[in-house]
Every structure is written in structure tokens, then in C-alpha cells.
Chain A
Amino acid sequence: MTTNLDVVFQEEPEVVKIKLIGEVDISTVAKLREDLYEIVDKNASDVRLDCSDLNYIDSTGLGVLVGVLKKVKEKNKNIYITNLKSNIQKLFFITGLDKVFIIEE
């Protein structure tokens, strides 16, 4: 089966923009972790995570995002999550992560 997740990023002076495309589940979460950790390890910037093309994420994916947030916070930076679909935003509310991440419309 093909991997159903793409992580696209663009480095800018004050921010690194990351776009998640596809689905995050246990078959793709390793790629998500590897790609995001590599990006944030190389950059000491805020992270803007565009989820407009993220169709699905489960608790394993949310766990990775929390891990990435810890790394970013160690550099006194933050993660801004944008364009969450309603079904995914609901998971952030259920798990309380809406209070942990900065979620923008």
C-alpha cells in the first residue's frame, strides 16, 4: 500500500510553514514524526501547521504533535495550527489539546 501522507514545508525568516496532506494513522505516523522532528530540529522558528488538506488524524498523530510542540517550546517558539477540518478540530477539543496548541481559523 502507498503511504497516504505528505509533509510539505517552506522555511521563511521567522516561521517555518508546514502543510500536512493526507491521513495520519499508525501506518503513517512514523513518517510524520520523522519529518516534523527533522524540520523543527533544523529550525529555531515558530511553526505554522496548515491542516487544510489533512483528512484524518488519530491519537498517535496527536501524540506526535505534542512531542513536536515540546521541541519547539524548548526554543521558546510556538506552533500555530490553521485550517483544521471540523472532524479533526473535534478531536483537539475532546483531548484538551485545543488549550495546548494555538489554533487559528
Chain B
Amino acid sequence: MNQLQECEKEGLNSIDLCITLQPEMVRVVRLTVSGIASTIGLPIDDIEDIKVAVSEICNRIITKGHSINQRCIIRFIVSAEELKVVFKFEKYRPEGFKLFDDDDVFGPAIVHSIMDHVNLDNTNDEKDIICFSMHLKERLL
């Protein structure tokens, strides 16, 4: 059972965004995550943070996957404890795809610094790319 299936089983609130791998889509994703985070009631600084983290992931998926004829699914899962964001390819993970290159310093530093939990090792579903989450309890006082 992959992460998405697990969440569906748990009946958590989720929002799916399915984007083509074009640079202009990053802005759409930022606006979407901003709306979701705002609706939850996150403070403005946290909204800006999660926008940055989501964009950093989208940048790399789009840059490395733009020649592939498929889309990326971004699932936002809201629970009482956290806002979780799952990225996965619509059809398959391209051969040799690696989200962060070895010389990619800024992107991983930003994502790991901003998010509370980051899981790059999604070995239970070959379409999975990364998921990360932001804890909500301490932020929604």
C-alpha cells in the first residue's frame, strides 16, 4: 500500500493538483499551496516557508522531467497534526531520475531547514518522488 492509498484509507482531507511539467506551473502550485495553508490558518511566515519548499521540489521535477510526456501529482493532505505534501509522477518514475543532484546545495538545505519531516526514500511506490510535512499543532495556537 503506497502513501496515497494509506491516506485515503484513513479518510484524511486531501487536495490533488495535477500539473504538466512546465516552468509556468510552479507559480500555480505556489498559489495553490498558499491558499491551502491560509485556509488552515497558518501564520504568514509559515505560508511563505511551505511555498518555498514546494517550489523547490517542483523546480527539480519540472527541470528534469519536462521532456517526459506525463504529469506530476501533488497531493496536499491535511490532518489535525500536520500538513503533508506528497509528490509523485502520474505514470512512472523516469529511469535514472534523481531529485537532488550531488552538487545541488541550496535546494536540499532549504527544504530540510523549512520542513519538519522530509522523506525522500519512497521505496514502496516507484512513482513516488518525495513527501514532506509541516507540524500544525505548535503553529495553530
Q: Are B24 and A91 in contact (CB under 8 A)?
A: no
Partner of B23, one of A26, A63, A86, A87: A26
Q: Are B59 and A25 in contact (CB under 8 A)?
A: yes
Q: Is B113 an interface residue (CB 8 A)?
A: yes
Partner of B24, one of A1, A86, A94: A1
Q: Is A54 an interface residue (CB 8 A)?
A: no
Q: Is B15 an interface residue (CB 8 A)?
A: no
Q: What B residues does A90 contact at CB under 8 A?
A: 49
Q: What B residues does A1 contact at CB under 8 A?
A: 24, 27
In angstroms, Cα B30 to Cα A60, docked, is 16
Main secondary structure of the interface of A (DSSP, over half): helix
Q: Is A46 an interface residue (CB 8 A)?
A: no
In angstroms, Cα B109 to Cα A58, docked, is 12
In angstroms, Cα B68 to Cα A70, docked, is 34
In angstroms, Cα B56 to Cα A27, docked, is 13
Instruction: Encode B36-60 as 1/0 by CB contact (under 8 A) with A.
Output: 0000000001001101100110010
Q: Are B106 and A27 in contact (CB under 8 A)?
A: no
- Nearest chain A CB to B38 CB, angstrom units: 14
Q: Are B23 and A56 in contact (CB under 8 A)?
A: no
In angstroms, Cα B110 to Cα A87, docked, is 12
Binding site for B on A (CB under 8 A): 1, 4, 23, 25-27, 56, 58-60, 62-63, 86-87, 90-91, 94-95
6 shortest A-B CB distances, which residue pairs? A59-B106, A87-B48, A27-B23, A26-B23, A94-B113, A1-B24
Please, could you name 21 A-B residue pairs with CB atoms under 8 Å apart, sorted by A? A4-B27, A23-B27, A25-B26, A26-B23, A26-B63, A27-B24, A27-B26, A27-B27, A56-B30, A56-B52, A58-B52, A58-B59, A59-B56, A59-B59, A59-B107, A87-B45, A87-B48, A87-B49, A91-B110, A95-B106, A95-B110
